[in-house]
């Protein structure tokens, strides 16, 4: 028995562990239909991950999918776009909370504190982005 795709194998083991823990909770603590369905899905993912990692053909398919240039481009674009959106959301939510706290007066420190924290986080993100930009400008 040879493991052709380690990432899939370990993912399958993690899902199996989660499934077993969930099953234990179901049997010993509280039985709910929702948790039972979740456990079934976890077992399916676990079985799928492990069986695919042990099959040479399936592993080759998975490696091909991971290394496909179009898939890589789509992943890159998705990550870049979602990062850009979260960046803007952080700034806007930070401003809104700070203004809300200042205007409302209630829980002033809470809202203003959260607002300033989010804005600071935005500043840190911009700083890190600039550093990474400089690095790639030099090395690419």
Partner 1 sequence: MNVTQQELADAVKVTSRTIISIEKGQYKPSLMLAYKLALYFDVSIEELCCLKQNLREEI
Degrees to nearest 5, angle at CA 126 with 123 and 127: 85
CB of 79 to partner 1, least distance (A): 18
Name the minimum Å distance from CB 63 to partner 1.
10
The DSSP-derived string for 101-113 is HHHH-TTHHHHHH
CB distance 122 to 90 below 8 Å? yes
Distance in angstroms (rounded) separating the CA atoms of residues 97 and 92: 9
Q: Phi/psi of residue 29, each to 5°? A: -105, -75
Nearer Cβ to partner 1, position 60 or 107? 60
Among 69, 106, 137, 140, binds partner 1 (CB under 8 A): 69
Query: Please, which residue, 56 or 88, has the CB nearer to partner 1?
Result: 56
- Measured from the CB of residue 67, what is the shortest distance to partner 1 in angstroms? 8
Applying CB under 8 A, which of residues 71, 78, 107, 130 lies at the interface with partner 1? 71
Residue 32 and residue 15: Cα distance in Å, rounded? 20
| Start-to-end Cα distance in the chain | 42
Nearer to partner 1, 68 or 129 (CB): 68
Q: Which stretch binds partner 1 (CB under 8 A): 50-58, 68-76, 109-117, 129-137?
A: 68-76
2 or 70, CB closer to partner 1?
70
Residue 67 engages partner 1 in binding (rule: CB under 8 A): yes
Q: Does 76 bind partner 1 (CB under 8 A)?
A: no
Strand, coil or helix: what is 13? helix
């Amino acid at each position: 028995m040879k493991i052709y795709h380690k990432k899939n194998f370990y993912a399958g083991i993690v899902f199996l562990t989660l499934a077993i823990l969930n099953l234990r909770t179901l049997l010993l603590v509280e039985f709910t239909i929702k948790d039972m369905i979740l456990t079934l899905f976890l077992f399916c993912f676990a079985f799928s991950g492990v069986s695919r990692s042990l099959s040479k053909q399936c592993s080759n398919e998975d490696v091909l999918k991971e290394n496909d240039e179009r898939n890589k481009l789509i992943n890159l674009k998705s990550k870049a776009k979602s990062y850009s959106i979260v960046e803007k959301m952080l700034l806007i939510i930070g401003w809104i909370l700070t203004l809300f706290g200042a205007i409302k007066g209630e829980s002033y420190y809470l809202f203003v504190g959260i607002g300033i924290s989010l804005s600071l986080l935005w500043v840190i993100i911009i700083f890190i982005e600039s550093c990474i930009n400089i690095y790639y400008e030099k090395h690419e």
